[in-house]
Amino acid sequence: MRKSNSKRTTIKDVAEAAGVSTAAVSQALRPKENSNIKLQETKIQLIRETAKKLNYRPHTGARSIRSQRFGSIGYFSSKSLNLVYTPYGYQHGVHDALEESDFRLTLIRVSAGVDQASEEIPKAFSEFHLDGLIVESYSELASKLHDLYADRDFPFLYLNDRHEFDSVFVGEIEASKVLTNHVISKGYRKIAFAHRYIKGEPVIEKMHHSALDRETGYRQTMSANGLNPTVVTVESPAVLGREVNLTDEQWEQLKEFDAIIAYDDDFANCIARKCYDKGIRIPDDIGLAGFNGDYASLSSWRALTTMQIPAYEMGLTLGRMAVNRIKGDAGKLPSVRFVPSLIQGNTI
């Protein structure tokens, strides 16, 4: 039986097949702006087609030795998150940004506790050979990790967590003001802001900064319009699920209002479920709005009025920041703030 040729295609093989130097192949496949090698577009296409035909793949080990980089950036996500609650937009944005510069994205799920996570991080660096780390934020964990590693030279970047440097985050107060003004412009005056915290998890004050920021924007806007701000906070067994419902006692706190702005779209849907059970029509009997503008609003029973977070653009921006930190050795980069867009549904 004939043995298959398992010899790995090298850059030298591509160069010989294309009739060029190995340096030309390197420049065509991994362009460097400061290179002395100048290639015409037709030559670049020839080299790339030849590499594809020969199934050439760069040797990551050799490349790491030359560049003193591994070409891999870690993406830390908490194990406490509900698996149906993952913001794919953030991850996809980061992935596409890294792919532009031929970096790999390594997804690493860490414990929600700071003590456990701080033990897992050094282990992750040694096992996955990371050049940098992106921390996805939903709770106080990211902020505590930031404080723990703030003095390190290693690139730590934060997604959806507000810091002066190396982060992208949402302008929550501004977004809340836009949404509250929109609700007021529709003629509503008795408007509640509805919070919920998860049983056994941090209270509002220790949740992600968006919890208090959205409340702050609502309060400031209501007061600026001469209206009385009222915040209703309820306890819930989980973020979402068939067992997640408002109790009759919790509904009693909300039913007196003309409109409700929920902390997020998940909670808005939970409130809508209770309205259906009570025979209350939205928006005829009560107005309803949420935040985030992702799957929960896109799959809601009616087109939900919400503020849509530009998750993909945030991930793309932070991914490019991570690459610049690693390749440019420029030090910490100023953080970037994103303001969500108002999505006008038919629930207000």
Q: CATH number for the 11-58 domain, one of 3.90.1570, 3.40.50, 1.10.260, 1.20.58?
A: 1.10.260
How many whole angstroms separate alpha carbon 62 and alpha carbon 134?
25
How many whole angstroms separate alpha carbon 239 and alpha carbon 230?
22
Predicted pLDDT of residue 83: 40
- Phi, psi of 308, rounded to the nearest 5 degrees: -95, 120
Residue 296 corresponds to which amino acid? A
What is the value of pTM for the model shown?
Answer: 0.75
Number of residues assigned to the chain: 348
Predicted pLDDT of residue 292: 94
Predicted pLDDT of residue 69: 56
Question: Which of 56, 107, 101 is closest to 78 using CA atoms?
Answer: 107
Predicted pLDDT of residue 170: 96
Structure tokens at 345: 């549904």
Predicted pLDDT of residue 113: 55
Instruction: Give the CA distances from residue 145 to residues 79, 156, 193, 269, 326, in Å, rounded to whole numbers and listed in that order.
Output: 15, 9, 30, 32, 20
- What is the DSSP pairing of strand 167-170 with strand 132-136? unpaired
- Greater pLDDT, 317 or 82: 317
Question: Which single residue is written with the structure tokens 């209703």?
Answer: 232
The CA dihedral of 162, 289, 343, 170, to the nearest 10 degrees, is 0
Q: Are the C-beta atoms of residues 171 and 335 closer than 8 Å to each other?
A: no
Predicted pLDDT of residue 66: 46
Predicted pLDDT of residue 218: 99
How many whole angstroms separate alpha carbon 240 and alpha carbon 94?
26
Q: Are the C-beta atoms of residues 297 and 345 closer than 8 Å to each other?
A: yes
How much is the mean pLDDT over the chain? 84
Question: Which of 259, 248, 245, 160 is closest to 211 using CA atoms?
Answer: 160
pLDDT in tens, 284-343: 999 999 999 988 898 899 999 999 999 999 999 999 999 998 887 667 899 999 999 999
pLDDT in tens, 193-225: 999 988 877 677 777 889 999 999 999 999 999
What CATH fold (topology level) applies to the domain 71-170+311-339?
Answer: Rossmann fold (3.40.50)
| For residue 345, pLDDT beyond 80 | yes
Establish whether domains 11-58 and 71-170+311-339 are of one fold: no
| For residue 111, pLDDT beyond 70 | no
Which helix (H) or strand (E) covers residue 317, if one does? helix 311-328
Query: Cα 286 to the chain's mean position, in Å?
Result: 32
DSSP assigned state of 153: S
- In CATH, the architecture of 172-308 is 3-Layer(aba) Sandwich (3.40)
Domain residue ranges of the chain, discontinuous segments joined by +: 11-58, 71-170+311-339, 172-308
Predicted pLDDT of residue 215: 97
pLDDT in tens, 229-258: 999 999 888 777 788 889 999 999 999 999
